[in-house]
Amino acid sequence: MMKLLKYDFKRNSAKLLGVAVVLILAQLSIMLLMNDITLIIVITLLTYMIAGVILFITPIRTYSYNLKAYHRKLLPVHSLKTIISPIAMGFICLLILGLIMLIHGYVYLTVYDNTQILYIIKTYPMDTIISLLSACWIIINMFITIFLAITIATSIRSKGSFWIGIVVFFIIVNGLSWLDNLLFGGAEWGFFRIFADESNSSVNGVLTNMNSLQTSISGGMIGSFIFELVCSVAFLYVMVKLIDRKVEA
């Protein structure tokens, strides 16, 4: 696994380094050249968003490349590692970006806090931690579901396989969201709701789940989490079978 991860990183190293450099330069120029505080906040968040999107797309591209690459398919390496390696890469990159954002945000808030955010975080530490963990879980879950759609699309040897993949993706997400809802009665939490429920549509923001502050840990939430966990394991199993039996280079 670590060897695959190393080569996934190596192949993308130029791009990842580029993102880091551009991000740093952008933040520096924002700090040095801008005065309007609202504009600073908006543009800062925007640059983080763009970096986040690039870091999110990179492992997806890496995975779909690896599925077809001869030198990867020929390796005597278990297919599960083929799936997990790009997820790990994406997760590590986004985690680092998240940490930078957190530190940046914390510094910013201690210097000019004109909102109540820091106060709210300090009052509800458990909620904050759960929000962060849920963001991590959402990212991993999203990768797994997208990878499943890619794997299914790649297993099909016909022309419209790309669109089939996209349709499959939305069917999975909405179908599971519906099931989730049916089973656990609409706890305002969980990855599958993102695409089903437009109001809750930020991907990698740390401040995503502000409304989850109202929902502390409930039975529905744990049930929902277990449901997603079981689904993810099932997805991984299906993907391994597909890679071993159906995906052809």
Q: Is 70 in the site for other proteins (CB under 8 A)?
A: yes
The residue type found at 141 is: N
Give the whole-angstrom CA distance, residue 67 versus residue 8: 12
Of the residues 32, 33, 74, 111, which one makes contact with other proteins according to CB under 8 A: 74
Beta carbons within 8 Å of 244's beta carbon, 6+ residues apart: 79
Contact segment (CB under 8 A) with other proteins among 34-42, 76-84, 109-117, 202-210 equals 76-84
**Torsion on CA atoms 14, 18, 21, 26, rounded to nearest 10:** 180
SS3 156: coil
Contact segment (CB under 8 A) with other proteins among 9-17, 123-131, 185-193, 207-215 equals 9-17
C-beta of 20 vs 196, nearer to other proteins: 20
Q: Is 77 in the site for other proteins (CB under 8 A)?
A: yes
Q: Is 244 in the site for other proteins (CB under 8 A)?
A: yes
C-beta of 2 vs 32, nearer to other proteins: 2
Beta carbons within 8 Å of 217's beta carbon, 6+ residues apart: 126, 130
Report, in Å, the least distance between residue 159 CB and other proteins: 12
Of the residues 13, 29, 123, 216, which one makes contact with other proteins according to CB under 8 A: 13
Site for other proteins in 193-212 (CB under 8 A): none
Beta carbons within 8 Å of 89's beta carbon, 6+ residues apart: 5, 8, 9, 12, 58, 59, 62
Beta carbons within 8 Å of 118's beta carbon, 6+ residues apart: 109, 110
Report, in Å, the least distance between residue 233 CB and other proteins: 21
Packing angle of the helix pair 219-245, 125-155 (nearest 10 deg): 30
Site for other proteins in 128-157 (CB under 8 A): 157
Report, in Å, the least distance between residue 164 CB and other proteins: 17
Report, in Å, the least distance between residue 143 CB and other proteins: 22
Q: Is 76 in the site for other proteins (CB under 8 A)?
A: yes
Contact segment (CB under 8 A) with other proteins among 18-26, 49-57, 67-75, 139-147 equals 67-75
Q: Is 7 in the site for other proteins (CB under 8 A)?
A: yes
SS3 197: coil
Nearest to 26 by CA among 57, 2, 47: 47
Helices (H) and strands (E) in the chain, counts: 9, 0
* Token reading at 57: 């797309």
Of the residues 11, 137, 167, 203, which one makes contact with other proteins according to CB under 8 A: 11
Interface ranges with other proteins (CB under 8 A): 3, 7, 10-11, 13-14, 70-71, 73-78, 157, 244-246, 248-249
